[in-house]
Amino acid sequence: MNEIKIAVLPGDGIGPEVIKESLKVLGAVSEIYACKFLFNEGLVGAKAIFNAGNPLPDETLEICKNSDAVLFGAIGDPHFDNDPKAKLRPEQGLLKLRKELGLFANIRPLKIFDTLVESSPLKKEVIKDTDMVIYRELISGIYFGEKFTEEQGEYAYDVCSYNRFEIQRIAHLAFQAARKRRKKLTLIDKANVLDTSRLWRKICQEISHQYADVTLEYIFVDNAAMQVILHPKQFDVVLTENMFGDIISDEASVIGGSIGLMPSASIGEKYSLFEPIHGSYPQAAGKGIANPLASILSVAMMLEHLGYDAESRVVEKAVATVISKGCVTEDLNPERAYSTAEVGDFVAEFIRNSQKGSYYNYENIQIGKSTIV
């Protein structure tokens, strides 16, 4: 029996609710496959500030370093967002965690589920068959450069810097991914204005010689913001720096119908962390309306990364089936919405039944009479 140690960091807002469903799904996976998950929970974010006076307590970091992977919920709290003078901020917990674990590549895949083509505000013809993956650099750039706010509070700066090593390591991963896909890599930058962007272009150009089968294209970030929703199909693998990646990936999630569907994997040399791209959505916390599928799909990415391919595929298949049967939260279907826990139950139930050859009776879902309590 394989034992997999997972650090669980639910965090703030809807984080704990979506994580609960992910753990439910892992429970179902362990019932039918020869793997056992050992969960170790840690405090992070606003909750950690309130409880331990630190957005990333040492103990939490230790738990992460002693695990095979980290499962992360969400972070952020309006209490801090509305107080620009706050010295401690929940987000510092996540940023420090990414840095300490060396998670330099944040991978954000975007796929369109057929039954959801109508859920996006964008036209069906525009988004149908979109299949892209964003490689976002995660531990450098303006997020981690020198910061300063003058005492009188009238002047501040944030420095954006990159070096060859930081660009190279993620660029190689992105080229390798492109090689396994449609062999196209698009670098998003602002090379007409920024020195850091020109460095990205130079280094990516150099590296491209090692990947002659991959076409490298460049696009300025302002144009990319438009192209991503005008012609999303043109993108295969997208590579970009930290802040552009943060912004473009939220935008790209609109294509899929909901930000509540987009998972991510953050990968380093030694550690890995899996989290939905959405935030803590405090307005929804405790209401049972949060979409757990981005977190559950992050679990699928985690299983794949750890080498559990069959387990990963069954989770993905369960999610696709549940969506195709219309068992979704209100962000995807306000008229016939299921709760966070119900969606998690259906995914888990599909997995449990997947080996019996007889899948769950979805007729019940459609008429709203689930047999699952």
Catalytic residue numbers read 143, 190, 222, 246, 250
- Alpha carbon 225 to its chain centroid, in Å, reads 19
Backbone CA torsion sign across 184, 166, 297, 329: negative
Q: In whole angstroms, how close is the CB of 246 to ligand IPM at the nearest point? A: 4
Q: Which of 246, 330, 331, 349 binds Mg ion (CB under 5 A)?
A: 246
Min dist. Cβ of residue 110 to ligand IPM (A): 14
Name 3's Cβ contacts closer than 8 Å, sequence gap at least 6. Answer: 35, 36, 37, 38
Residue 246 marked in a binding site = yes
Residue 108 marked in a binding site: yes
Cβ neighbours around 70 below 10 Å, total? 26
Q: Are 315 and 296 in contact (CB under 8 A)?
A: yes
> Rg of the Cα trace of the chain?
21
- 201 assigned ligand-binding residue: no
Task: Answer yes or no: are the C-beta atoms of 28 and 45 closer than 8 Å.
Answer: no
- From the list 57-65, 187-195, 245-253, 263-271, the region that binds Mg ion by CB under 5 A is 245-253
Q: Which is nearer to Mg ion, 137 or 246 (CB)?
A: 246
Q: Are 58 and 6 in contact (CB under 8 A)?
A: no
Residues lying near ligand IPM in the complex (CB under 6 A) are found at: 75-76, 91, 94, 246, 277, 279
Question: Was 182 annotated as part of a binding site?
Answer: no
d(CA 240, CA 174) in angstroms, rounded, equals: 10
Nearer to Mg ion, 95 or 194 (CB): 95
From Mg ion, ligand IPM, none, interface partner of 76 (C-beta below 5 to 8 A by class): ligand IPM
Residue position matching structure tokens 């997208």: 238
Q: How far apart are CA 251 and CA 246, in angstroms?
A: 9
Nearer to ligand IPM, 63 or 74 (CB): 74
Q: For the chain, what's the residue count? A: 373
Name the residue nearer to ligand IPM (CB basis): 4 or 109.
Answer: 109
Q: Which of 134, 317, 325 is nearest to 237 (CA)?
A: 134
If contact means CB under 5 to 8 A according to the sort of partner, which of ligand IPM, Mg ion, none does residue 94 touch?
ligand IPM
Residue 72: CB minimum distance to Mg ion, A: 13
58 assigned binding-site residue? no
Return the bridge partners of 71, or none.
8, 274
Maximum alpha-carbon separation in the chain:
68
75 contacts which partner out of Mg ion, ligand IPM, none, CB within 5 to 8 A by kind? ligand IPM
Pick between residue 253 and residue 333 the one whose CB is nearest to ligand IPM.
253
The option from ligand IPM, Mg ion, none interacting with 232 (CB < 5 to 8 A, set by class) reads none
Q: Which residues define the annotated binding site for Mg(2+)?
A: 222, 246, 250
Q: Which residues define the annotated binding site for substrate?
A: 98, 108, 136, 222
